[in-house]
Amino acid sequence: MNVDTRVPGHVPPELIRDFSLFSGPEMERTPAGNPQAALSFVHRDFPPIFYAPMNAVDGRGTWVVATAEDQRAVLQNTEIFSSDRQLFEKAMGEPLPMVPLEIDPPHHTAFRALLNPLLSPRRVQDMEVGARERAVRLIEDFKDRGYCEVMDEFAFPFAVGVFLQFLGVSDDRRDEFLGWANDQFHGDFEARKRAMRTVVNFVQSLIDLRRLEPKDDFVGFLLQAKVEGRSLTDREILGVAVLLFLAGLDTVAAALGFSFYHLARVPEDQRRLREDPELIKSAVEEFFRAYPTIQPVRQVVKDHDYKGVPFRAGDLVSCPTQLSNRDPAEFADPDTVDIARENNRHSAFAFGPHRCLGSHLARRELIIGLEEFFARIPTFRLKEGSVPVTYGGYVFGVENLVLAWN
């Protein structure tokens, strides 16, 4: 990506910092890195809000908001900081609304009310049996071997399988979806475009099929739904489905990966969870806090001065969860991973009206993944000679995470 390193004239020089979530020794694909922990210096050395020309989104630098308090102020103020960034159109050259992510209140409120029941705690509970069966099948395939590459053999296939279950699509499409996901998240620009086009075409074919053969599933629900007194358009249905595909796979798989990576490096925490499974729920919340994966970005639509920072229309503002979750004003000992941490107000799912729609499902996926792994796999460690690779970016992640057990 070409990066425009020019700094807008309204940015005070004292607020400019050399910083990027996309590059640098801890952000790029780095052996044995810990990109979230590597960012803790920001709270010690940088202003609470600063401008980073190299933190390039759409080729432009961004304001970076570091503290939890200031991130809440930004992400809750949708009149100034808009989510309507038209990401699909910029990537594909055609409009497709990422509903409800890229629409602001009041329209966002109506869509959110429509979609919330689809991912409510009760609906997630109804999916649990199927999700556990998927986890067990995956683990059974490698448990006797004594090792696995957890991302390719468990985290991604598990997340894709749960997504297919949510869509009401047969598991025999799993490998196909895995290929699309791999191209989308890890391929070059042309591979990502091809993968996205394939996903859009698949969802459109599913919409066409459900019009001919109605079924009580995700697409069938959307075809019957009303929002603001009207039916959803095909483009809106497409936007919802494509958003869930993008938001629900890489992020969940990455969260699983960082959780297993931590437990392989900290055997004492693994031992505690095996001896006291009731701790798994609080451990999952702490893993979300300590190893968050996303950086929500907003676009300023009206000039706005905030605590001496001159936000101007057109500016991009990044609110990295990796920073707010290690804010010492928000958490005691923020750099310590405490699997029994109480009152864990982490921001892994962001803040405000656009707080992650799938947070309940993500939590259950991590809990199920850990429970079923512990039930079938003895104490695991990093396989000797393997070197996990971590990286930053729009979504932080880990690769080559090879676990071994006796």
| Integer Rg of the chain from CA | 21
pLDDT in tens, 106-159: 889 999 999 999 889 998 999 999 999 999 999 999 999 999 999 999 999 999
pLDDT over threshold 90, residue 164: no
Give percent of the chain above pLDDT 90: 63
Q: Which residue has the tokens 């079923």?
A: 372
Q: φ and ψ at 237, to 5 degrees? A: -60, -45
Distance between CA atoms of residues 194 and 199, nearest Å: 9
Distance between CA atoms of residues 365 and 242, nearest Å: 20
- CA-wise closest residue to 341 among 325, 364, 323, 360: 325
Q: Which of the four pLDDT bands, split at 50, 70 and 90, describes residue 242? A: confident
- The rounded Cα 161 to chain-centroid distance in angstroms is 17
Lowest mean pLDDT among 28-32, 53-57, 376-380: 28-32
pLDDT in tens, 320-361: 999 999 999 999 999 999 999 999 999 999 999 989 989 999
The pLDDT, as a whole number, for residue 230 is 93
pLDDT over threshold 70, residue 276: yes
What stretches of 128-259 adopt beta strand conformation (E)?
A: 147-149, 226-227, 230-231
Structure tokens at 351: 């803040």
pLDDT over threshold 60, residue 1: no
Asked if 290 and 279 count as a contact pair (C-beta separation under 8 A), the reply is no
Residue 89 gets the label, from left (phi > 0), alpha (psi -120 to 50) or beta, of alpha
Q: Which domains does the chain have, with CATH numbers?
A: 13-404 (1.10.630.10)
Lowest mean pLDDT among 59-68, 212-221, 274-283: 212-221
Question: For the sheet containing 402-404, what is the strand order?
Answer: 147-149, 402-404, 381-382
pLDDT over threshold 90, residue 265: yes
Which pairing describes strands 402-404 and 147-149: parallel, antiparallel, or unpaired? antiparallel
The pLDDT, as a whole number, for residue 65 is 98
Q: 125 Cβ partners below 8 Å, 6+ apart? A: 364
Helix axes 359-376, 121-142, angle to 10 degrees: 30
> Residue 404: beta bridge partners?
147, 381
Asked if 303 and 313 count as a contact pair (C-beta separation under 8 A), the reply is yes
Q: What is the pTM of this model?
A: 0.92
Q: Which of the four pLDDT bands, split at 50, 70 and 90, describes residue 93? A: low
Kindly report the average pLDDT of the chain as a whole number. Answer: 90
Asked if 360 and 120 count as a contact pair (C-beta separation under 8 A), the reply is yes
Lowest mean pLDDT among 95-104, 217-226, 362-371, 379-388: 95-104
Q: Which of the four pLDDT bands, split at 50, 70 and 90, describes residue 261? A: very high
Q: Does an H or E element contain 298, and which?
A: strand 297-300
The pLDDT, as a whole number, for residue 128 is 95
- CA-wise closest residue to 363 among 272, 266, 269, 286: 286
- CA-wise closest residue to 161 among 150, 151, 152, 172: 172
pLDDT over threshold 80, residue 25: no
Q: Which of the four pLDDT bands, split at 50, 70 and 90, describes residue 185? A: low
- CA-wise closest residue to 97 among 241, 202, 227, 197: 241
What stretches of 256-347 adopt beta strand conformation (E)?
A: 297-300, 304-306, 309-311, 316-318
Type of residue at 318: S
Lowest mean pLDDT among 69-78, 228-237, 259-268, 355-364: 228-237
Segment 257-268 shows an average pLDDT of: 97
Segment 369-397 shows an average pLDDT of: 94
Q: Is 233 exposed, middle or buried (0-12, 13-18, 19+ CB in 10 A)?
A: exposed
Cα dihedral 234, 237, 239, 244 in deg (nearest 10): -160
Distance between CA atoms of residues 323 and 396, nearest Å: 13
Q: Which residue has the tokens 């004239």?
A: 9
pLDDT over threshold 60, residue 195: yes
The pLDDT, as a whole number, for residue 92 is 60
The pLDDT, as a whole number, for residue 247 is 76
Distance between CA atoms of residues 113 and 107, nearest Å: 10
The pLDDT, as a whole number, for residue 32 is 61
The pLDDT, as a whole number, for residue 173 is 81
pLDDT over threshold 90, residue 91: no
The pLDDT, as a whole number, for residue 59 is 84
- CA-wise closest residue to 326 among 309, 348, 306, 307: 348
If one compares 202 and 286, the residue with the highest pLDDT of the two is 286
The pLDDT, as a whole number, for residue 148 is 98
pLDDT over threshold 80, residue 24: no
If one compares 314 and 173, the residue with the highest pLDDT of the two is 314
Asked if 221 and 207 count as a contact pair (C-beta separation under 8 A), the reply is no
Segment 286-290 shows an average pLDDT of: 98
Evaluate the omega torsion of the peptide bond into residue 320 and state whether it is cis, within 30 degrees of 0: no
Structure tokens at 204: 């459109």
Which pairing describes strands 60-65 and 316-318: parallel, antiparallel, or unpaired? parallel
Segment 303-312 shows an average pLDDT of: 98
Distance between CA atoms of residues 207 and 257, nearest Å: 33
Please, how many CA atoms are within 13 Å of residue 372, restricted to the half-sphere of its CB? 24
